[in-house]
Structure 1
Amino acid sequence: MEMKAKEMVYKILREDLDVTKEELKDDAELEKLGMDELDKVEITMSLEEEFNLTITDEDTDKWVKVGDVVKYIEREVE
């Protein structure tokens, strides 16, 4: 069974940011979850590989909350 985009984004963020399921909510700020520039690069690479996308720095600069990442991926994979 293929994971939904949101579930896969959450899985990647949980693994790369080493946060719990409870901490990861759409309105959680990525910076407060500990995301730094290196994490952003790693997360971007994981998302690009998983969803076969090319994600620009311009796009990732708009990611402030977890929900921003989810919405971006859902929009790109439609």
Structure 2
Amino acid sequence: MLAEARRQWVAEQKTQATAAAAATLRAALALFYSAIDDAWHAAGTSDAVPLDLRTGLRLAATRTARTSVEVET
């Protein structure tokens, strides 16, 4: 009985960890896609994408890459 309860607890912990990792990655991707959308709209209305939007793109891309590595390990 105790062994079964432990197995169930371990399975629940793995499920929770997987869900947390998926949510973290989705949040990073949402930031990334939002930065792309902002830059895309700015590029369509002017000759150059402003520095703050380019910086946002770089930060979002870096955050997404780092989050992907963290989630994978």
Q: TM-score range by the shorter chain?
A: 0.3 to 0.5
- Give me the TM-score of the superposition, normalised by structure 2: 0.35
TM-score, with length taken from structure 1: 0.33
Bigger Rg, which one? 2
More helix by share: 2
